[in-house]
Structure 1
Amino acid sequence: MDVISIVGILISMAAILGGQYLEGGHIGSLVQVTAFLIVMGGTFGACMLQFTLPVFLDGMKMLKWVIVPPVVALEDVIQHVTSWGQAARRGGLLSLEPLMAEMGDPFTRKGLQLLVDGAEPEKLREAMEVDMYAYEEHYRMAAKVWEAAGGYAPTIGILGAVMGLIHVMENLSDPSKLGSGIAVAFVATIYGVGSANLLFLPIANKLKALIAREMVKREMVVEGLVGIANGENPRIIETKLRGYIN
């Protein structure tokens, strides 16, 4: 679990609600169902229009990464690659074949299979890089759903504010309805700007950082496998891979 994400959300909410309270305002005045429906409905409706259904759904599924990010153990990659290199020097590339069944990562398993099959180092790199770039493109596009939400939300918030003011102008003769209309107008702007800058854009950037870390892991796997294919000393391969972490 990524504790810093939870702490960040709590701090940002506490700062806003605490500021409202310290200024003498009522926290309940920030709760407007109409404004929430306008901003959230309009924002995600616009995102659905921008993206295809599979990309949009992938973006929604990736939200859990903010709290429970995928495990990317770079030290484990170094240990595995080094042990593969030592095994290959002792028993040849075919000695790595039994290790493929132990690999839960399809990307790593594919690389080992190419290595055992005797693929040329550059051909191995080319084949693996195709998978790497496809992975990056797929998940970066899904992460852009949240980036797009961060772009649309403030504008939808302004739209909600204008709608609230229209409601106010239509009921100038009835003072009892003026307060609710003005409240919706301003709260919609708060929801739009707040959700974009406190949630949507940070979520998008968090997901991009996690994708970048996974790409580092995959680059290390490819570099290690190519080094083994070239017959490099396992210690040299290990030193090279530690450069990614350092």
Structure 2
Amino acid sequence: MDIATVVGLISGFIFIIWGIFISGEIGSFIDIPSILIVLGGTLASTLISYPIKSFLGTSKVVKNAFLQKEISPDNVIVEIIQLANVARKEGLLSLEEFGEKVDDEFLKKGIMLIVDGTDPELVRNILETELVFLEERHTEGQSIFETMGSFAPAYGMLGTLIGLINMLQKLDDPSNIGPSMSVALVTTFYGSFFANVVFLPMANKLKIRSKREILVKELMVEGLLSIQAGENPRIIEEKLKTFVPPELRDDYKSQLESEEA
């Protein structure tokens, strides 16, 4: 569970509702037609913009934002160094047994390619091609939420125009002008709210997670190719730790030392 996503989403709702309570009445901001216009219109336009399969897959994308467990670069480096030591002592074929126990499918695939004696350049091409398509799939999920974030304010304005038109039809009754104007503006509120509290932050979270995952996969590629080239585990360690921010390298070193112990 990603605590930051949950806390951020809940706190966004709480602070806005709190502000409404302080300055007015929450009932003035509850309007079902406005919600229908903003959410219904946003979903409809998004469905028009993307294939039905991509649209229906949004639930999986949302799940990734909340539940996906990120792979630590530190853990991957430790695993790669272990692989390098095994390969150095027992040969590349000995990695097959180790590879069968690996949970990450991408790393497992790379290990098996090496064990099968695949040409290093071909190994790189296969793994990097998989990375390209992985990034494209991630980008599509991000763009869906970015699209929803752009449509929501537009439908908020559309709902406001609808409310103003309804208000102008009742100008002969001054008592209806205030409530009608309030309802018209509430739709703009919903459009801005859903865009800036839900859709766009979700797109940003998915984008950051995608970049981190791609970084870890690139680390795996470099590590595996270094092992296949027969490089010294210490050299591989120095090469891979450049993927880790300087402030986190002490944590990585202590983890590696504990594994060796």
TM-score (normalizing by structure 1): 0.94
Matched, 1:20 2:20: yes
Structure 2 unpaired stretches of 5+: 246-261
Distance 1:235 1:57, change over 3 A: farther
Q: Name the aligned partner's letter for residue 59 of structure 1.
A: T
Output aligned runs, 1:210-221, within 5 Å.
210-221=209-220
Q: CA deviation at 1:103?
A: 2.1
Q: Name the aligned partner's letter for residue 195 of structure 1.
A: F
**Equivalent residue for 1:48?**
47
Structure 1 unpaired stretches of 5+: none
List per-residue Cα deviations over 1:131-189 (Å, max 9, x = no partner).
00100001111111000011111111000000111111223345565455323211100
Q: CA deviation at 1:12?
A: 2.2
Output aligned runs, 1:162-241, within 5 Å.
162-174=161-173, 178-241=177-240
Q: Name the aligned partner's letter for residue 241 of structure 1.
A: L
> In terms of mean alpha carbon deviation, does 55-64 or 160-169 score higher?
55-64
**Equivalent residue for 2:10?**
10
> In terms of mean alpha carbon deviation, does 144-153 or 49-58 score higher?
49-58
**Equivalent residue for 1:155?**
154
How far apart, CA to CA, are the structure 1 residues paired with 2:178 and 2:63? 38
**Over aligned residue pairs, what C-alpha RMSD do you find?**
1.6
Q: CA deviation at 1:212?
A: 0.8
How far apart, CA to CA, are the structure 1 residues paired with 2:25 and 2:193? 18
How far apart, CA to CA, are the structure 2 residues paired with 1:7 and 1:19? 18
Output aligned runs, 1:52-201, within 5 Å.
52-174=51-173, 178-201=177-200
How far apart, CA to CA, are the structure 2 residues paired with 1:129 and 1:169? 60
How far apart, CA to CA, are the structure 1 residues paired with 2:27 and 2:81? 59
Q: CA deviation at 1:64?
A: 2.0
Q: CA deviation at 1:241?
A: 1.3
How far apart, CA to CA, are the structure 2 residues paired with 1:57 and 1:241? 38
How far apart, CA to CA, are the structure 2 residues paired with 1:211 and 1:97? 29
How far apart, CA to CA, are the structure 1 residues paired with 2:81 and 2:120? 17
How far apart, CA to CA, are the structure 2 residues paired with 1:67 and 1:140? 17
How far apart, CA to CA, are the structure 2 residues paired with 1:140 and 1:5? 19
Q: Name the aligned partner's letter for residue 28 of structure 1.
A: G
Equivalent pairs counted in the alignment come to 245
> In terms of mean alpha carbon deviation, does 29-38 or 73-82 score higher?
73-82
How far apart, CA to CA, are the structure 1 residues paired with 2:176 and 2:104? 60
Q: Name the aligned partner's letter for residue 240 of structure 1.
A: K
How far apart, CA to CA, are the structure 2 residues paired with 1:108 and 1:92? 18
How far apart, CA to CA, are the structure 2 residues paired with 1:245 and 1:143? 25
How far apart, CA to CA, are the structure 2 residues paired with 1:209 and 1:217? 13
How far apart, CA to CA, are the structure 2 residues paired with 1:174 and 1:42? 30
Distance 1:149 1:100, change over 3 A: same
SS in 1 for 2:67: coil
SS in 2 for 1:67: helix
> In terms of mean alpha carbon deviation, does 208-217 or 232-241 score higher?
232-241
Q: Name the aligned partner's letter for residue 233 of structure 2.
A: P
Q: Name the aligned partner's letter for residue 83 of structure 1.
A: Q
> In terms of mean alpha carbon deviation, does 66-75 or 147-156 score higher?
66-75
TM-score (normalizing by structure 2): 0.88
